[in-house]
Amino acid sequence: MAKVKNISTQIIKSLAGVVDFYYWKGIPVARSWPKRSSVSTSPNVLASRQAFIDSRIDLKQVTGVVRLAWAQSAHGVTEAWLDYYTHQYMRYWRDYGVSAPVVIDYTITEN
């Protein structure tokens, strides 16, 4: 892991698949892109990998209002909102063995 002065979208796109950029404890860092292992994967690992993929598919459908709600619910939590979302999604999958129900959109109304 190496500290990075800043992470721009252009840099991330140009080095996709080679360098992994992310924030660690609020510090921009980079590392070599993770390589797949040649060791056979257990059924449980394959299932959790699929649950993670499902979390990303669901996340792509989430509207800005819901994303904002996730960001606000993660206020005061040490994780970024996306990590918080993923953590909650995977915890639900672990506890119930199915993908978590995800709110895609909602409308806020005043009383």
Mean pLDDT by 10 residues, the chain (111 residues): 77 82 83 78 90 92 87 82 89 93 77 63
Give the pLDDT score at 109. 66
Domain ranges within the chain, ordered by starting residue = 2-32, 43-96
Give the pLDDT score at 38. 72
| Secondary element (H or E) of residue 109 | none
How crowded is residue 37: how many other Cβ atoms within 10 Å of its Cβ? 7
Q: Rounded CA gap, 103 and 73, in Å?
A: 14
Give the pLDDT score at 53. 93
Q: Is the pTM of this model over 0.85?
A: no
Q: Rounded CA gap, 1 and 20, in Å?
A: 9
Give the length of the chain: 111
